[in-house]
């Protein structure tokens, strides 16, 4: 049987994509030539929420200097400000997804590459697989049902139709 050496995994930290990643781990474990290419199609959402002035967060200082890279919510200088400060909450973070994928792959010493893609998920993953010379694409079942699937089709079935190589859909 032909071994798959370049495996693209469509990963967005959903249940289906976690199953796809687990399948990639199983396939790559016994193959020292295997490279897992984790692709996440950018879908971050930013929500601004109001912060409470009562719970102030003080900046962290060391030797009189501010530490960079620490996220501190914006503070209102005036207590009677009619427009309360807001704080951005990011969901579907690419960084979070890649962090979780790395946690799954690193213990197995699997060679991996992580790329963030833009555009239509099916088209982006297929173009990426073609550009990377992939032998296999593994994606999860999207979980879309009913009318959405009937009119739009699922991402996984669209990938299967457009892919330049075999596609494995994890259920």
Classify residue 75: in a domain, yes or no. no
Length of the chain (residues)? 171
Classify residue 55: in a domain, yes or no. no
Classify residue 79: in a domain, yes or no. no
Instruction: Give the pLDDT confidence of 14-63 residue by residue, as tens digits.
Output: 899 999 999 999 999 888 899 999 999 876 555 555 655 555 445 444 44
Whether residue 128 is predicted with pLDDT greater than 60 in this model: the reply is yes
Containing structural domain, residue 131: 4-41+89-167
Q: Per-residue confidence at 81, pLDDT binned at 50, 70, 90? A: low
Classify residue 110: in a domain, yes or no. yes
CATH code: domain of residue 137:
3.40.50.620
Instruction: Give the pLDDT confidence of 64-80 residue by residue, as tens digits.
Output: 444 445 555 555 555 55
Residue 64: Cβ within 10 Å count: 5
pLDDT of residue 64: 44
Are 123 and 155 spatial neighbours (Cβ–Cβ below 8 Å)? no
Tokens 């088209």 locate to: 123
Instruction: Give the pLDDT confidence of 105-123 residue by residue, as tens digits.
Output: 999 999 999 999 988 889 9
Q: How many domains does the chain have?
A: 1
């Amino acid at each position: 049987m032909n071994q798959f050496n370049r495996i693209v995994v469509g990963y967005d930290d959903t249940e289906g994509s976690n199953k796809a990643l687990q399948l990639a781990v199983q396939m790559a474990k016994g193959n020292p030539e295997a490279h897992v290419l984790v692709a996440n199609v950018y879908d971050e959402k930013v929500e601004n929420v109001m912060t409470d002035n009562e719970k102030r967060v003080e900046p962290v200082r060391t030797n009189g200097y501010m530490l960079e890279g620490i996220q501190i919510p914006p503070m209102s200088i005036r207590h009677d400000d009619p427009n309360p400060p807001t704080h951005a909450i990011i969901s579907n973070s690419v960084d979070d997804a890649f962090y979780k994928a790395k946690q799954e792959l690193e213990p197995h010493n699997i060679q991996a590459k992580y790329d963030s893609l833009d555009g239509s998920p099916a088209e982006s993953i297929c173009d990426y697989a073609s550009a990377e010379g992939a032998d296999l694409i593994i994606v999860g079942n999207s979980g879309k049902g009913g009318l959405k699937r009937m009119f739009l089709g699922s991402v996984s079935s669209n990938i299967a139709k457009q892919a330049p190589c075999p596609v494995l859909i994890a259920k």
